[in-house]
Structure formats: C-alpha cells, structure tokens
C-alpha cells in the first residue's frame, strides 16, 4: 500500500476541540489563525452565530474564542469555525452530574508522578468506557482488560469515543453533498484481516461525458496501479436512475493500510473530490496487555516524551502524526520517532537468559513482544545491534540458481530487463504482476536463453510500478519495480493579474508533461477545493488553470504553482469597483407641514450609507424616516418645519464621495385683499414648461398646494375630464383650507396621468387653471432574450425593447447570467448598455447558462425579463486543413482535405462543401446534408467554368471558418503525359510453370484515358488465350492456364494523342524435361561400371541442373540411387556386387523437377567372379593431389545500382581448396553485404544491392596444401537513370 497521506494546508494554527460540559455551565472554544487579520465566522448547524446574551464572540489579533453561556440540552449540536477556505467542525457534549466514588488504591511500588495533561486535549466524558478497543483510533492506547480503575500514571489513557468521533468528523470537512457526488465515501474502521468497501455515487443526468473516478492514498499515490490481492476497484451504472456507482474493496486489511484516502471525479471541465479516513484495528487477545502502547505516538507524551506541533492545514484536531509505529516499519525507515514515556519495570526472579539469542532466532514480527517481555526500552539500539549480528545463511533454492534483486528502479519511458537463472531448464516459468499473470505483448517480452529467463518491459509507465513475481514449480522470487518520473518543468510561467472586485480571475501555466500533478499555493498556503467553490482547478492537456470566482480584497497576494521540477509565482491585485450613481438626490422646496423626500439610487444594493444635515448625522425619529430597499436610499421628513432647512448629504459607507442636495423652506404669505375681490388662482408648479406640467414618479406622493384669493372665500372644484374629484378620503383627493386648496395623489400610478382642472368661484367671479400631471415609472421588462450565436467562452444575445418605457426614454440595459442549475445570477455589465445586442464573455465551455435583461431609464431599473432558453457555449471547430484538388475532369472535380486542428468540446458532425462561379458570392451546396469523409467528388459541373470551392466543418456551435482553394479552378480535364509504371518484380524475366495462372497488373498514368495495346513478339495477342482488361489507372493481362507457347516478349503500348509510352515484359513458361538419351555402358572393370549418356532433347525451357542415376540387379529389379543432382553426362558406378548383372537408368532434372520417364541402358554389366589368381602389374601410386586451378575465370561486369549482382568462377583442386574473396585486396568474407556460395566447384559471390561505392577490383583466391591460384575482375556499378519518354 502507498505511504500515509500528507496533510493539506489550513488557515488555523490552533483548532477548537469537542468538549463536554454540565447543564447550566459555560464553555469556551478557542481557535488561532495564521493571519492576524483573517475574518472568522462561528456557525451552529450551518447558521452564523452573532454575539449576544447567549454567545460571546471575541477576537484579539489571531486569537478567537466562542463562549456559550447557560448550557442547555438543545445546545448539544454541531458547531464549526470558518476562516478563508478552511472549516473545522466540533461538538458540544452534555454530561450528567455524577458523584465520584473514591476507591482505595492497592498497594504498589511508588511510581513517578505523571505530567498534567495538556490544556488543548479535552477531558473524556464521565461515561466514557474504560475498555475502549486498542485499535479504535491511532492516537489512543487501551489499557489491559485486567488493569484496575486507577491505572498507573505512566500508561497513556485511551481517548473517549466522543473525542474519536470528533476527530474523524474533522478529517473530512467537505462531506456535504455538493458538486458531482450524490453519495460520498465515508470514513470507516476495520479490523486486521477483515474486508471493507468504500462507495461513491455520481449522477450523470447533467454530464456530457462518462465521469472518471480516481482513488488516491495520501496526496499523489494513484491506487489504480495497486489493484491486486488486497485492493479491487469496481464500477456499475444504473440506466434507470442514471447513477454511476464506484466501489473500492479493501480485502484482508493490514495495519499499514490505515491513513487518509481521496476520491476524485471529473467529467470534461467539472471536478469534485472527497477525503476520507481508514482506521485499522489490531485483533484483541483476551487477558493480554496491548504491547503497542509502549511504541505508539500520541499528541501529548509523558515526562519523557515531546509534543509535536501539528502541521498547517491538518484537519485532525487531536494530533498530526498519529499512527502505530511497528518494528517492520522501523526496519525500513531511518527517521526518528517519539519515544514512549518511562514506565516502571517489573523485577523478575527468573534465571538470566540470553535475550539476543532469542531475538536472533525470532521473526521480526515478534520483536515487540520480546522487547516488552524482557524490559528493553532502547528500541533503536536493539535494532542496530540485531543488524550487526551475523545473519544465518540462507538455504539454497532448488529451483533458482539466481534470483531477482529485492528492488529495481527505472525511469519512465525506458525499458528494463529482469533476469533469473533456473536450475532445470525444462521447467515452466510464470511471471506475475501484483499477483496477476502477465500475458506476452508488445510491452512484455519473454526470453529464454539456456537456463536464463528474461522479462523485458518496454516503455515503462507508472502502471508498471508494481510487485513482480517469478514462479518455478513451488518456489518463487519477488521484486519491486519502482518507476521514476522525470521532473515536470514549467514551460509557460504564471502572469501577474489585476482584477476588479467581484470579477473572475484565471491563472494559467503550461508544464512539460500531460497529466502531471501540480500544487497551487497562496502566500505559502496550499489551496484546495472548499464548499464555497471559490477556487476551481482545471486541466487541459499540459495546461493547468487556477480560477478564482468573484475576487475579493482578501484574494490579493502571491500565487505559486509547484511541480517536482520547478515553480512559478505571480501576483494578484484586486481593486474596488467604483460605485455608480443611477439617480442623484435633488434640491427640494417645500412648505410648512408638507413632506420632503430625498432619494438616490446606487449600483450596489449591499452598500449602506448615512445621511447628514449641515454636517451632523441625521437620526431617525417620529418625523424623520431612513429607509434602504435594494439600491434605493430614502430620507423622508414629515411636517417640514423651518429648522429642517439646510444642506443634506448622503455618504455611502466605504466610498470617498457623497451626494448633496438642499432643502428650502417656503413660507406662504397672503396679502390682504379687499372684500368682493374676484377669485384668483396663484399657480406656480415650479416647472419650466408653459403647460404647467407636473412630473411625478410612480409610487411617490403628489401634493400640490394651490394658493387662492378672493372675498368672500371662493369655492374650489377639481375635475379630471368630466369627472369631479371629491374631497372624500381616497388615494386621489382634494382638501380646501383657508387661503389655499391642496390636491393630493397617494402613490401615483400610470392611470393618474392627465389634465386636471381647478375652478374657483365666488360672487365676484371665477378663475380656472389646468394642470397636466405626468407619471413616470421604471420601464416594463424587456422581451425574453434570444441567443444568436455561441462561441468557446462567449455568446451573442439579442432582445426587444420593452413595450412601455415608463414615460422616460430607456438609457440602456443591464444583463445577468447564471448557470442552469444554479440560483445565483451574476451581473455582466455595470454601465447601461445602449444597444439591444450584447456579447457575453468569460463563460465555461460545455456549461449550460441562462441570461436575463433589465431595462434602465432615468427613474430606475425595470423588473428582469424572462430568462433566455438554456444554451451551452461551444466554439466552432477550426477550419479544415490542406484543402486541395485531387482530380479533375470536364464535369467533375475531386477534393480532399484534413480534419481541423482543433475540434473543441463538441463532437464533429461533418463537413459541408460549397462552390460558386468566379466573380459571384452565391455559394451553392455541393450536396445535401453533411459528409463524414475528408474527400468528395462533385459532379455535373459546367465545363470550362472557373469555379471556387470551400469546405466548412460543422459541430453543435455551427460552421467553422471556411477553407478555400488558393485560386479558382477551371473545370477542364488536364492532359497528363502517359507513363507506364512497371512493378519491380516484372523488370526481370517472369518465370511460371506450365498450368499456372498468369495475372499481371501494370499501373500507368495519363489523362485523358490513354489507349492501351498489347503485342507479343510484334504480333497481336490471341484473345482466346489471353484476356486484357483496362481501367483508368492500370491494365491487367490474364492467362488462366499457361502453356509453353505463351513464353516470349510482351509489349505494352500506351498512347494519348501524339504522346506515347512503351514497356516490355519477358515471360518464361517452364516444364519438366524429357528423359536423357542413349545411356551406354562404356566399360566394366572390377566392381566398377563406366556410364555415358546424352542430354535430353527438350530441357523444359530451362537449364538442366543435374541427373539422377540408378542401378538395379536383374534378378530382383529393385532400383537403388547411385548419384543425385549429378551435373556431368558420364559417371562411374562403384561398389557393385560380384556375380550380379546390372542395368542402369538416368533421370534429367531442371528447376521444375525430374523427368517423368527415365532412359534405361540397353546393355547390362556383369561383374565377373575371380576364377584365377590375378597378378596385377606393379604401378607407382598415383599422386592425386592437385594445386588449385581456376577452370573458369571471373568476368568483368557492369551492373546497375540497387539490384543484386553476382560474380562466378569455377575451380578444381585436391584436396578441396580454401576460398577467400577480396575487394581491392581487402578480405570481405566476413562482411554482411556479401554472400558466398560453393557448389561442386562453382564459386559465386553475391553483392546485395550494390551502390557506386561497391565498384572496384574483386579477386578470388584458392589455397590448398599443393599451392594456390587466384583470378580477378573489375566491377562497375552504374547509377540508375530515369527512363526517357519517346515520342513517335
């Protein structure tokens, strides 16, 4: 299994712990952050806590505390503290008040007092069991079952189950169902030897591609390559629910399997991950003390121990290095470990024993038990001494003479050869990888050389990092192969970024290898995915992206990307957005008892502000009302008094500007009018228009105070059209008081627009005035937007203006977008956009979005429109490449091209081909629909026209940019000179046997289609025997059954108008030879017979390569072969039996075979029996030794480069001479370019594919005991010369 996981970075240096408290008491949770200015939130069941009577929240630099007062039962829930991207969970436990019974302590030897427990370790609850399992948590150690309640102080106590649960809960702080997981794998416990399964589920309804799941142990170790006996990965798919289920089965768990695991799921640009823990418990043995307590590392040691500061980012609250420390690990590691606190050693009266002798004979797994039994505390010294002791000699293996080394290392991409030597070369050898048999393939090569067996692994990858086993019979040898990755370097560094607050920031770097792991850090702290999805990590080939959604001031800093071969740093600066004012406050002039309303509208609805009058902050009271609804801020003053007059200012919080306006108090003075004065209306609307038009914003109150004069007091009548407005209370009503009449509209609406008339009458006369009231409002929402086109990360949206502009012209539009399955809308523009089309950018390719629009006029912003239809940003492909003309005729043209260089996330649907005449823009589709092929033939084109062609690639986003020809093409067949391409094997004589089929395919070129004629020896071919089939590109000569008369020279003639080409092909039809002629017995002596014969009349159209001579006794007529492949026409048959009479026969042999009939000798040869004593004459023994002599010399030759050449000669000599070949007096016998043959005295030197460098003087030298001889010749190698076309 891989190494334990590394801890991720965290914003906390001290984390709150789960605590238990009694009812009515108070409890304090403390936390410390790495940065003193970090913002910290406390939550209870996912809801933020605020300071009050119940909760007391304090912050002092980087120290933060939460105090819960008056604890009740309902407070026993889950809490968490959040800082930046880190979140730590903890709980509050309620414990009942109990009376502690003191028990007498049994007499024992005095032991040193234990140090007090550290303050940051929460005490276990009173009801915690005292016999918790030893393996329940790596940080705890259980006491022996028989120990009394008052345990010795030097034995560490087991942590409470609540604390264990708290620690496990804090390991994975992201278990909420967010992202792609519908069910995340949960942390679990397992006992050694048992099985456990972790399950992850992913819903694929919204995914464009099947999700990919990876399981990791620690931070980088991919478990896919570790599948085998103890680990299995499975996956299932439910078509009904569209849910993928991924399972990780751990079989027969071992103690070193414990640690942190991670599950990652990805689908295109979507990514999610989940962390979980596995705790492995030892099997408890009854009535036996857990000796691991002496060697377990804890977060707080005794007096002799040390406390280690937890690493930054650890999500385990209790300790950072928890885990067992067994001796099997100590034998492999050399790092230091925390020693256990001193413990009392029990004195034994047993006789002395040699502990080292016991340890030397014991297995390493028993070292712990023996060390504890005999009181050995210096464990490291014990291990060092054991290593120095002489190891027993290993037993020799009966199956292996040489075993595998314990481990091998190879670089990624290289090859490695594993070698063993077996004792028995006949036994079968099996190779296993992680316990699974290895099948031979291109990457795994098995070799066997003598007793050596080799396994070669080519192009090693990380998947080859495994355990390899070689099995021979019942024995095996095991090794580990470690694949070393080359360092990943950064090719393109990060670039500094500057963004506005709330914008999306993207860092990009390019590394040297695809799929490489990189680590992102901010100011030295590693970045991880959190619940808020603030940071998103994306991979695209060798490019890696860090995306920050909605940047804030806290995101400023240095961002660093690290690989195992380098790093790159960039700085991010985030600036505040300028606050925009949509509606400024205006000066007001009001009269006594009236209402004054100041209001303004700003771009950010979350901005708060304060109102000031003459520099003094305005406080709300019974007459003064301050409201903040959305982006609108209002200050309303009822019953205006003279002291309310002054300068009013609105100051937004956090921005260095203000909005000011003046309130003018107007006193109404009525001059004395004598009695019987006709009525007069003193109308002053304050408007610049002559029509006395009053503009009021919808929803606001219109109060018009019209002064009137007249004596006696006139009566007042208000009308709108023919309708008289009564003085009764209502939304629109009038009120008459002495000296003036008041016209009021409460909450103006659109139907209140119109011309209002006021008529005053008294006995002295009447007066009339018309007032036009115009109600302005925010515009109606625009029509639902339409998506015109989409790109890789953008789209073009269009909408129709609103039906009603609210009485004020529309000054622009504001757009928002959101992801389809999200509820959060994001503003696309802050300044009103004046056009009705807009290009939205910075979207994620492959993600579904919706867009809505607001209309803005001088009054404010309308309600949002209906959202657009969901759309997915997908970029069209790049243009097809390498468009060219493949062929052309009078009415057709063939085009071919290559696929686009970039296809994008959407699949390629096909290609569309268009054409148009030169000088026009009317493109005509060449065919209906799309084609999947990268070549097409367009037919029925006008002959002689100059045409332009284009090809476009289509995907879901539409057509790509067109690929056009460089210039128009004239639709006319282009003449091409005729040319015959003779295949290489037909450039020499073609040899066929009688009865075989001849099928010659001769390719040629030429346009228009050339005329093909065939002749044999200048005469026309017999169509009954020879079939000729011609096409546009080749000609076929076919003879079903070849005969001897088909041999000869065939001429192929190609002609286009006055241009022609010609080629010759030689065909040789061979058959069996006829028998030899006239076999004669020339002489008989002793046991020998001399024979002679003549060659056959018909050699079968090829050379005779030998004869077969046979003999037969006339008594039995059984034939026996005397010579085979005999090249001469005379021979001597020896070793004949005396007293027998023999006849002989001879067969002729050529390249086809032996003649069907033999030629039999007419006479017979009788071997005489000796009837007398023959005294042979005395002769000197003849010396048959003969010096070598060449009977046929080498001949000067001139050959063409590239074709094999041979040099031949013949030599005789007794004994057989040794032959040596030389080139320019250099021995060439051992060179691979030359081959030598020697057959019955005929010597041949073959030169394979000579080049001009092979020319020179070649010499053949023959040497034996009697002498030597040599011959030589010159070889000229001529370069190939292209054949020149001949014109007739």
- Between CA 580 and CA 602 the distance in angstroms is 6
Residues 6 or more apart whose CB falls under 8 angstroms from that of 338 comprise 297, 298, 301, 305, 306, 308, 321
pLDDT score for 302: 36
Instruction: Judge whether residue 24 has pLDDT over 50.
Output: yes
Q: What is the DSSP letter of 623?
A: S
Banded pLDDT at 1171 (limits 50, 70, 90): low
Query: Does residue 586 sit in helix, strand or coil?
Result: coil
In 10 A of CB 695, how many CB atoms?
Answer: 16
Banded pLDDT at 177 (limits 50, 70, 90): very low
- Between CA 70 and CA 1172 the distance in angstroms is 149
Q: What is the DSSP letter of 579?
A: P
Are residues 287 and 145 in contact, defined by beta-carbon separation less than 8 angstroms? yes
The most confident of the ranges 146-160, 747-761, 1213-1227 is 1213-1227
Are residues 1140 and 1118 in contact, defined by beta-carbon separation less than 8 angstroms? no
* DSSP H/E element including 361: helix 355-361
CA 1052 to chain centre: 58
- Between CA 342 and CA 302 the distance in angstroms is 8
- CA-atom Rg of the chain in angstroms: 53
Banded pLDDT at 1110 (limits 50, 70, 90): very high
Q: What is the DSSP letter of 119?
A: T
pLDDT score for 392: 52
The b/e string for 660-669 (b: 16+ C-beta within 10 A; e otherwise) is ebebebeeee
Are residues 658 and 651 in contact, defined by beta-carbon separation less than 8 angstroms? yes
For 884-909, what is the mean pLDDT?
A: 86
Are residues 341 and 303 in contact, defined by beta-carbon separation less than 8 angstroms? yes
Q: What's the mean pLDDT when you consider all of the chain?
A: 80
Banded pLDDT at 2 (limits 50, 70, 90): very low
pLDDT score for 121: 35
pLDDT score for 88: 85
pLDDT score for 353: 64
Angle 948-949-954 from CA coordinates, rounded to 5°: 150
Dihedral sign from CA coordinates of 998, 1004, 1008, 1010:
negative
Percent of the chain with pLDDT over 70: 83
Structure tokens at 551: 């940047």
List strand residue ranges (DSSP E) for 140-222, in order: 181-183, 188-191, 196-203, 212-217, 221-222
pLDDT score for 308: 37
For 55-70, what is the mean pLDDT?
A: 87
Helices (H), 251-312: none
> For residue 359, which of 372, 350, 345 has the smallest C-alpha distance?
372
Dihedral sign from CA coordinates of 283, 289, 294, 298:
positive
For 70-98, what is the mean pLDDT?
A: 81
What would the DSSP string read from start to end of 818-875? EETT----EES-SSPB-SSEEEE----TT--EEEEEEEEESS-B-PPPPPPPPB---P
> For residue 1110, which of 1151, 1153, 1157 has the smallest C-alpha distance?
1157
- Between CA 123 and CA 159 the distance in angstroms is 9
Banded pLDDT at 151 (limits 50, 70, 90): very low
Angle 915-897-922 from CA coordinates, rounded to 5°: 10
Q: Phi then psi for 603, rounded to 5 degrees?
A: -75, -25
Q: Phi then psi for 331, rounded to 5 degrees?
A: -70, -20
Are residues 1193 and 1210 in contact, defined by beta-carbon separation less than 8 angstroms? no
Structure tokens at 926: 């060449």
* DSSP H/E element including 379: helix 379-388
Q: Across the strands, what pairs with 769?
A: 758
The most confident of the ranges 383-392, 409-418, 585-594, 1278-1287 is 409-418
- Between CA 1170 and CA 1176 the distance in angstroms is 13
- Between CA 280 and CA 136 the distance in angstroms is 8
- Between CA 138 and CA 306 the distance in angstroms is 17
For 1006-1025, what is the mean pLDDT?
A: 89
Sheet holding 998-1007, edge to edge: 976-980, 998-1007, 1034-1039, 1027-1030
Q: Across the strands, what pairs with 566?
A: 563
Instruction: Judge whether residue 440 has pLDDT over 80.
Output: yes
* Per-residue model confidence as pLDDT tens digits over 320-361: 333 333 444 433 333 333 333 333 333 334 445 677 778 877
- Rounded-to-10 torsion of CA 1034, 1035, 1040, 1041: -110
- Between CA 609 and CA 618 the distance in angstroms is 11
List strand residue ranges (DSSP E) for 614-689, in order: 616-617, 624-629, 632-637, 646-652, 659-666, 677-681
pLDDT score for 169: 40
List strand residue ranges (DSSP E) for 134-258, in order: 181-183, 188-191, 196-203, 212-217, 221-222, 231-238, 243-250
Q: How far is CA 54 from CA 78, 434, 549, 973, in A?
A: 16, 60, 36, 95
Predicted TM-score (pTM) of the model is 0.31
* Per-residue model confidence as pLDDT tens digits over 1058-1094: 888 999 999 999 999 999 999 999 999 888 999 999 9
> For residue 188, which of 247, 229, 235, 143 has the smallest C-alpha distance?
247
pLDDT score for 1174: 66
Provide the terminal-to-terminal Cα distance of the chain, rounded to the nearest Å: 83
Structure tokens at 640: 């205006």
- Between CA 1007 and CA 976 the distance in angstroms is 5
* Per-residue model confidence as pLDDT tens digits over 198-229: 999 998 877 777 888 999 888 678 888 777 77
Structure tokens at 1210: 């013949």
> For residue 1144, which of 1179, 1107, 1169 has the smallest C-alpha distance?
1107
Banded pLDDT at 919 (limits 50, 70, 90): confident
Instruction: Judge whether residue 724 has pLDDT over 90.
Output: no
| Better-predicted residue by pLDDT, 597 or 376 | 597
For 786-815, what is the mean pLDDT?
A: 89
Instruction: Judge whether residue 123 has pLDDT over 70.
Output: no
pLDDT score for 838: 94
Q: Which of 146-150, 261-265, 377-381, 384-388 has the weakest average pLDDT?
A: 146-150
Instruction: Judge whether residue 1035 has pLDDT over 90.
Output: yes
- Between CA 245 and CA 185 the distance in angstroms is 11
CA 604 to chain centre: 41
pLDDT score for 728: 62
- Between CA 413 and CA 259 the distance in angstroms is 31
- Between CA 1251 and CA 1271 the distance in angstroms is 23
Residues 6 or more apart whose CB falls under 8 angstroms from that of 509 comprise 490, 492, 493, 494, 518, 543, 544, 561, 568
* Per-residue model confidence as pLDDT tens digits over 602-656: 888 888 888 998 878 898 898 899 999 888 899 999 888 888 888 889 888 877 6
Are residues 1194 and 1260 in contact, defined by beta-carbon separation less than 8 angstroms? yes
pLDDT score for 1209: 94
């Amino acid at each position: 299994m891989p190494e334990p996981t590394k801890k991720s970075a965290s914003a906390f240096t001290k984390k709150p712990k789960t605590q238990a408290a009694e009812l009515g008491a108070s409890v304090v949770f403390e936390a410390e952050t790495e940065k003193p200015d970090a913002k910290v939130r406390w939550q209870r069941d996912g809801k933020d806590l605020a300071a009050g009577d119940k909760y007391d929240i304090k912050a002092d630099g980087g120290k933060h505390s939460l105090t819960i007062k008056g604890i009740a039962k309902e407070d026993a829930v889950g809490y968490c503290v959040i800082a930046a991207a880190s979140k730590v969970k903890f709980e509050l436990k309620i414990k009942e008040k109990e009376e502690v019974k003191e028990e007498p302590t049994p007499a024992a030897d005095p032991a040193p007092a234990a140090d007090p427990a550290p303050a940051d370790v929460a005490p276990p609850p009173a009801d915690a069991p005292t016999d918790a399992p030893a393996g329940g948590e790596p940080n705890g150690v259980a006491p022996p079952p028989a120990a009394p309640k008052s345990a010795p102080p030097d034995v560490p106590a087991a942590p409470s189950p609540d604390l264990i649960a708290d620690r496990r809960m804090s390991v994975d702080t992201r278990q909420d169902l967010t992202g792609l997981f519908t069910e995340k794998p949960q942390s679990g416990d397992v006992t050694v030897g048992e099985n456990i399964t972790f399950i992850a589920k992913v819903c694929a309804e919204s995914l464009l591609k099947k999700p990919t799941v990876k399981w990791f142990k620690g931070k980088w170790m991919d478990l896919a390559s570790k599948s085998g006996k103890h680990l299995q990965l499975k996956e299932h798919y439910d078509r009904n629910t569209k849910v993928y289920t991924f399972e990780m089965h751990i079989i027969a768990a071992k103690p070193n399997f414990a640690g942190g695991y991670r599950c990652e799921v990805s689908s295109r640009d979507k990514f999610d991950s989940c962390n979980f823990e596995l705790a492995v418990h030892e099997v408890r043995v009854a009535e036996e003390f857990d000796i691991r307590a002496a060697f377990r590392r804890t977060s707080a040691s005794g007096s002799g121990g040390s406390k280690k500061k937890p690493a930054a980012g650890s999500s385990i609250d209790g300790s950072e290095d928890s885990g067992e420390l067994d001796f099997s690990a100590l034998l492999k590691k050399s790092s230091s470990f925390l020693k256990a606190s001193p413990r009392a050693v029990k004195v034994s009266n047993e006789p002395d024993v040699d502990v080292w002798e016991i340890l030397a004979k014991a297995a390493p797994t028993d070292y712990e038990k023996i060390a504890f039994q005999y009181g050995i505390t210096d464990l490291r010294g014990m291990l060092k001494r054991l290593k120095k002791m002489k190891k027993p000699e290993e037993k020799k293996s009966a199956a292996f003479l040489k075993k595998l080394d314990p481990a091998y290392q190879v670089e990624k991409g290289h090859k490695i050869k594993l070698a063993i030597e077996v004792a028995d070369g006949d036994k079968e050898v099996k190779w296993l990888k992680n316990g699974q048999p290895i099948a031979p393939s291109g990457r795994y090569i098995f070799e066997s050389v003598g007793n050596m067996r080799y396994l070669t692994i080519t192009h090693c990858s990380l998947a080859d990092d495994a355990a390899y086993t070689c099995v021979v019979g019942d024995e095996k040898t095991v090794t580990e192969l470690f694949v070393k990755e080359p360092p990943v370097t950064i090719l393109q560094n990060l670039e500094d970024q500057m963004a506005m607050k709330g914008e999306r920031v993207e860092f990009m770097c390019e590394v040297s290898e695809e799929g490489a792991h990189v680590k992102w850090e901010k100011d030295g702290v590693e970045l991880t995915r959190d619940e808020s999805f603030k940071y998103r990590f994306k991979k695209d080939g060798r490019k890696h992206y860090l995306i920050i959604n909605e940047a804030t001031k806290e995101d400023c800093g240095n961002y660093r990307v690290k690989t195992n071969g380098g790093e790159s740093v960039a700085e991010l600066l985030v600036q505040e957005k300028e606050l925009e004012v949509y509606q400024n406050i205006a000066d007001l002039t009001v009269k006594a008892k009236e209402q004054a309303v100041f209001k303004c509208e700003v771009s950010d609805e979350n901005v708060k502000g304060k109102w000031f009058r003459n520099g003094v902050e305005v406080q709300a009271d019974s007459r003064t009302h301050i409201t903040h609804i959305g982006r609108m801020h209002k200050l309303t003053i009822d019953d205006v008094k003279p002291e309310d007059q002054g300068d009013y200012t609105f100051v937004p919080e956090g921005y260095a500007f203000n909005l000011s306006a003046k309130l003018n108090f107007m006193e109404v003075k009525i001059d004395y009018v004598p009695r019987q004065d006709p009525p007069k209306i003193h109308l002053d609307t304050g408007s610049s228009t002559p029509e006395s038009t009053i503009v009021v914003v919808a929803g606001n109150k219109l109060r018009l105070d019209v002064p009137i004069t007249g004596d006696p007091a006139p009566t007042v009548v208000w009308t709108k059209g023919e309708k008289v407005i009564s003085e009764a209370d209502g939304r629109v009503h009038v009120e008459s008081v002495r000296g003036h009449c008041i016209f009021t509209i409460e909450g103006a609406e659109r139907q209140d627009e119109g011309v209002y008339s006021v008529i005053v009458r008294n006995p002295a006369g009447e007066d009339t005035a018309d007032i036009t009231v115009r109600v302005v409002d925010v515009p109606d929402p625009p029509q639902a937007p339409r998506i015109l086109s989409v790109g890789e990360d953008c789209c073009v949206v269009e909408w129709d203006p609103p039906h009603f502009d609210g009485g004020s012209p529309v000054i622009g539009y504001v757009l928002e977008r959101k992801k389809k399955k999200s509820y959060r809308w994001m503003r696309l523009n802050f300044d009103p956009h004046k056009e009705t089309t807009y290009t939205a950018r910075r979207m994620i390719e492959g993600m579904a979005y919706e867009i809505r629009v607001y209309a803005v006029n001088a009054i404010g912003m309308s309600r949002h429109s209906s959202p657009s239809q969901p759309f997915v940003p997908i970029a069209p492909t790049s243009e097809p490449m390498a468009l060219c003309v493949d062929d052309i005729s009078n009415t057709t043209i063939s085009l071919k091209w290559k696929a686009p260089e970039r296809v994008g996330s959407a699949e390629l649907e096909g290609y569309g081909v268009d054409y148009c005449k030169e000088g026009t823009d009317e493109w005509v589709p060449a065919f209906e629909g799309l084609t999947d092929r990268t070549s097409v033939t367009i037919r029925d084109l006008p002959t002689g026209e100059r045409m332009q062609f284009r090809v476009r690639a289509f995907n879901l986003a539409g057509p790509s940019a067109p690929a056009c020809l460089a210039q128009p093409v004239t639709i006319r067949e282009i003449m091409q000179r005729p040319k015959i391409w003779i295949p290489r094997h037909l450039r020499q004589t073609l040899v066929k046997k009688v009865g075989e089929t001849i099928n010659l395919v001769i390719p040629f070129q030429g346009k228009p289609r050339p005329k093909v004629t065939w002749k044999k020896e200048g005469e026309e071919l017999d169509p009954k025997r020879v079939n000729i089939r011609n096409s546009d590109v080749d000609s076929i000569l076919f003879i079903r059954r070849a005969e001897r008369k088909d041999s000869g020279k065939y001429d192929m003639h190609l002609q286009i108008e006055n241009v022609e080409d010609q080629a010759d092909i030689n065909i040789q039809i061979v058959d069996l030879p006829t028998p030899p002629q006239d076999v004669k017995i020339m002489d008989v002596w002793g046991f020998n017979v001399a024979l002679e014969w003549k060659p056959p009349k018909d050699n079968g159209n090829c050379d005779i390569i030998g004869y077969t001579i046979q003999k037969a006794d006339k008594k039995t007529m059984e034939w026996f072969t005397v010579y085979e492949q005999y090249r001469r026409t005379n021979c001597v048959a020896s070793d004949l039996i005396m007293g027998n009479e023999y006849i002989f026969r001879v067969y002729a042999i050529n390249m086809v075979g032996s003649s069907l009939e033999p030629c039999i000798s007419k006479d017979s040869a009788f071997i005489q029996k000796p009837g007398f004593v023959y005294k042979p004459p005395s002769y000197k023994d003849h010396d048959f030794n003969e010096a070598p002599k060449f009977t046929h010399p080498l001949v000067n030759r001139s050959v063409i480069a590239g074709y094999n050449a041979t040099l031949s000669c013949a030599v005789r000599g007794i004994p057989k001479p040794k032959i040596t070949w030389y080139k320019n007096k250099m021995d060439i016998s051992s060179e691979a370019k030359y081959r030598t043959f020697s057959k019955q005295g005929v010597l041949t030197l073959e030169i394979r594919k000579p080049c001009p460098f092979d020319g020179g003087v070649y010499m053949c030298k023959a040497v034996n005991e009697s002498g030597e001889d040599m011959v030589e010749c010159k070889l000229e190698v001529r370069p190939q010369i292209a054949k020149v076309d001949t014109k007739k």
